[in-house]
Amino acid sequence: MSVLATIAKKECREDVFTVRGMGLYLAAALVLSGFGLLLVGNTELSLLDNAQAVYMMAGIILALAGLIAVVRGSDGFAGERDRETLEAVLVTPVSGDGLAFGKLGAIIVSWVLLYLLAIPYIWAVGSSGQNLTSSLLYLFISGTALMIIFGSLMLSLSIKMKSFKGVMSAGLVLLLFAAVPVALGPSLRQSAVGRILDWLNPFAVSMNMLDAVIVDSQSAPGQQFLSLLVLSGYVVIAAWILWKSSRRIEL
């Protein structure tokens, strides 16, 4: 456990307290500010119910979280390989899975920082409406699950693929496919095929759960049991894929 914590700390120092890391959070803040500006300035958006505005903002935050997971996960091993620092990391007395899960821990810390950054925005948009506390709680749960899923998959790809650019491109395509539910309205996904595709996509599962909690006030754990169960299943599968991939890390 201490090995994991040490690696996570090292990764956090590199990812958060650097110019590049801060730039990512500044970009995220600018995106959220842009959406807030639209809410204030656009006549139609300003008529939105608070819960609807919070739901839209939650979708943007999850998309940003996915983007951070793709960037950090791609950089995890393929970036080290490109910078020719992977060899030095591999000679340390840490197992492959310890290294991989330490990096995953740093990705989760990045998510926590993004979440803390997003809280003032959600409060500003939704404090005069309903379901603010449950919105924040379920956003944290779904965001953490998505970070573990995307982070694990990206780290696994990063272990197997040699080029950082290749991993990054694959990750962005994956994120684009997964984030389609944010662009499409729920009404377009009401068919049987749409529902099946929704359950196969952890991003869509999260969005549907947030829709039910924030807009429809169904925040009791029993009401979201199935969504939470499916997300947990995806988390376990993604973690297992990372564990299998990290057993043999090549230069």
Partner 1 sequence: MNPFKFTHDVRKARIPDHSLCASLTWCAGINAFLFIFFSIIFPGTAMAERYIDIPSSELISVSLKAPAGPLRMGEVPIFTGTITNRSTKSLKGLVVYLSLVSLQPGHEHPVDLEDWSAQKAIRIASLTPGQESDHEWKMRLIKAGPFGAALTIVDPESNQPKISPLAIFSIAPKPTVISGRILPVIIGMPLFLAGLFLVLYRTRR
Residue of 159, 151, 171 lying closest to 105 (CA atoms): 151
Number of residues that bind partner 1 (CB under 8 A): 31
Residue with tokens 């006030």: 217
Rounded CA gap, 78 and 159, in Å?
7
CB of 18 to partner 1, least distance (A): 8
Part in contact with partner 1 (CB under 8 A); list of ranges 114-122, 134-142, 181-189, 204-212? 114-122
Q: How many helices (H) and strands (E) does the chain have?
A: 13, 0
Q: Which of residues 3, 6, 9, 25 is near partner 1 by CB under 8 A?
A: 25
The residue among 37 and 220 lying less far from partner 1, judged by its C-beta, is: 37
C-beta of 40 vs 176, nearer to partner 1 = 40
Tokens representing 241 are 């894929």
Q: Toward partner 1, which CB reaches closer, 6 or 50? A: 50
Cα 141 to Cα 2: distance, rounded to the nearest angstrom: 25
What one-letter code names the amino acid at 174?
L
Q: How far is CA 81 from CA 87, 92, 163, in A?
A: 8, 15, 8
Nearer to partner 1, 34 or 233 (CB): 34
Using CB under 8 A as the binding rule, the residues of this chain from 212 to 231 that contact partner 1 are none
Q: Give which of 147, 128, 131 is closest to 61, Cα–Cα.
A: 147
Residues 6+ apart with CB under 8 A from 171: 70, 71, 73, 74, 150, 153, 154, 157
Structure tokens at 172: 């962005």
Minimum CB distance to partner 1 smaller for 29 or for 174: 29
Q: How far is the CB of 95 from partner 1 (least distance, A)?
A: 32
Which parts of 35-54 interact with partner 1 (CB under 8 A)? 36-37, 39-40, 45-50, 53
Is residue 227 within 8 Å of residue 208, measured between CB atoms? yes
Q: Identify residues 128-147 at the interface with partner 1 (CB under 8 A).
A: 128-129
Of 12 and 145, CB closest to partner 1 = 12
Residue 192 interacting with partner 1 (CB under 8 A): no
- 146 contacts 65 by C-beta, under 8 angstroms: yes
Smaller CB separation from partner 1, 25 or 140 = 25
Residue 184 engages partner 1 in binding (rule: CB under 8 A): no
Q: Is residue 121 close enough to count as binding partner 1 by CB under 8 A?
A: yes
User: Interface residues with partner 1 (CB under 8 A)?
Assistant: 17-19, 22-23, 25-26, 29-30, 32-33, 36-37, 39-40, 45-50, 53, 117, 120-121, 123-125, 127-129
